[in-house]
Every structure is written in structure tokens, then in C-alpha cells.
């Protein structure tokens, strides 16, 4: 089926799994390869498996990265913008930033880094926070700034993932950018931690692909009917 040839009404009636989407041969493929090159340059052995899911996330305690299925096809990106007002990760720059962030989660899961006492001391424990509701501190220098909305402040896990993303980004110049910030201590800790695990095979090598697009029986119409209220607070 040629998605570009059908109307929005016809498209919304299709089950997501029947779209037969793939990262391969899409604009996502070279971006995933770029992520892997960045990991290789840092000496890390891990290559998180990326798959198409319902949104950006790394399933709990797995070395996987879920990429929103709508990024795998221009027609679906256009529908996403019409239905949601934006396309998260819709351009190369924002997509790479999100990939690095989710990679931070995947690396932490793969090597069980959240169990380390120093990690908990610097970033905080995993419980007691809700990433969708947090008090932003615009003047704080305890956190890196990478994704929008001061997202590193949302949760200790997000703080770790954001710090990893800045560390991995070859253009971040984090040593000079965060000189004099409390966040630099976190970056230096992460730099030493990644040097420690460099070359090591992940302790967790596989996991369940939650909300995989190729298993989603719901139609696109149902998907957006359920999704819009969840993210209504940040819709234009």
C-alpha cells in the first residue's frame, strides 16, 4: 500500500501493524548508524537495538530504544503534525538528540548502573518522582541542558540520560560549556564510568520490545484518540 496515495480518513482507519513499517530504508536508518558510530568512538561495545514503538523511550531494564513509528514514513510524519501540532524528533538534529538521550537510558539498563552508590549519590534514587510533573528551576546549574523544558530536572533517570547525551554528543564541548557548574561533576563521573565499562559486553543483552508497532492492532484513529489527552498540556 502506498501511504502517500490515500486520504487522512483512510489512513486513520488502518491498524498500525498493517502499515508494515521499518527503520531500514527510512530516514531513521542513517541516524541509528550515526549513533552507533558515536558509541564506537567512545570505545563502548554496546549497540542498543532500536525498534519502532509508540513513542520515544527505553523499556525498563532493557538495552533497547523505542523510536516513534510515525518517524519511519513522511506521510505519517505529516499526519502526526496535523494531529498533534508537532513532530518530536522530526528533523535530523532533534532526532539525534533524542536518540542519544534514550541511549543513555539503554546504557544504564544494560550495565545496571543505577545500582551503583555513587550514581545514586550524584543523580538521586529512582523512586519518588514523576517525569510528567516536575518543578523547573531555570537558574539551576546542577543539571545539563539538552532536551527542551529542562528535562534533566524531571527525574534522576532523566538526569542521567541527559548527562549521557551531552557526554556522547561530539559537538557538546561539555568541559568548557559546564565549567563552574555542579553538572560538571556529573559529567566527569559519567566520563570515568564509561571509561570503566568501555569494551565490556552489556550485562543485559536483550529485552521485550514494549508497544512494538508491528504488534499494535489499534488503528491510527484510536491511537490519536488515546494519545491526545495525555499530551494535551504541551499541544499548541
Q: What is the pLDDT of residue 158?
A: 96
Query: For 5, which DSSP code?
Result: G
The number of beta carbons lying within 10 Å of the beta carbon of residue 86 is 12
Instruction: Name the one residue in this structure whose C-alpha cell is 557538546.
Output: 172
Residues 16, 220 contacting (CB under 8 angstroms): yes
Q: How confident is the chain (236 residues) per 10-residue block, as mean pLDDT?
A: 90 97 97 98 97 97 97 97 95 98 98 95 79 83 97 95 98 98 98 96 95 98 90 55
Q: What is the pLDDT of residue 128?
A: 60
Q: What is the pLDDT of residue 129?
A: 56
Q: What is the pLDDT of residue 52?
A: 98
Rounded CA separation 118/95 (Å): 30
Residues 52, 223 contacting (CB under 8 angstroms): no
Q: What is the pLDDT of residue 4?
A: 87
For residue 129, what is its C-alpha cell?
518522582
Residues 22, 72 contacting (CB under 8 angstroms): yes
Hey, CA dihedral for 158, 162, 167, 173, is it positive or negative?
negative
Q: What is the pLDDT of residue 235?
A: 47
Amino acid at each position: 500500500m502506498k501511504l502517500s496515495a490515500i486520504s487522512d480518513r483512510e489512513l486513520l482507519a488502518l491498524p498500525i501493524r498493517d502499515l508494515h513499517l521499518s527503520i531500514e530504508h527510512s530516514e531513521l536508518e542513517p541516524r541509528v548508524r550515526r549513533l552507533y558510530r558515536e558509541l564506537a568512538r567512545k570505545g563502548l561495545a554496546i549497540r542498543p537495538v532500536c525498534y519502532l514503538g509508540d513513542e520515544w523511550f527505553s523499556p525498563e531494564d532493557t538495552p533497547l530504544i523505542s523510536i516513534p513509528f510515525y518517524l519511519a514514513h513522511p506521510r505519517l510524519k505529516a499526519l502526526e503534525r496535523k494531529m498533534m501540532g508537532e513532530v518530536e524528533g522530526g528533523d535530523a538534529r532533534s532526532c539525534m538528540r533524542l536518540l542519544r538521550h534514550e541511549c543513555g537510558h539503554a546504557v544504564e539498563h544494560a550495565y545496571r548502573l543505577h545500582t551503583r552508590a555513587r550514581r545514586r549519590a550524584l543523580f538521586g534514587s529512582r523512586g519518588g518522582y514523576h517525569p510528567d510533573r516536575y518543578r523547573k528551576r531555570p537558574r539551576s546549574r546542577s543539571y545539563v541542558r539538552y532536551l527542551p523544558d529542562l528535562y534533566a530536572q524531571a527525574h534522576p533517570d532523566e538526569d542521567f540520560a541527559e548527562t549521557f547525551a551531552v557526554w556522547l554528543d561530539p559537538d557538546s564541548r561539555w568541559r568548557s560549556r559546564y565549567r563552574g557548574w555542579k553538572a560538571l561533576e556529573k559529567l566527569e563521573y559519567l566520563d570515568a564510568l564509561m571509561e570503566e565499562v568501555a569494551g565490556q559486553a552489556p550485562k543485559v543483552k536483550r529485552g521485550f520490545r514494549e508497544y512494538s508497532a508491528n504488534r499494535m492492532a489499534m488503528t491510527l484513529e484510536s491511537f490519536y484518540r488515546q494519545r491526545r489527552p495525555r499530551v494535551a498540556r504541551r499541544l499548541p
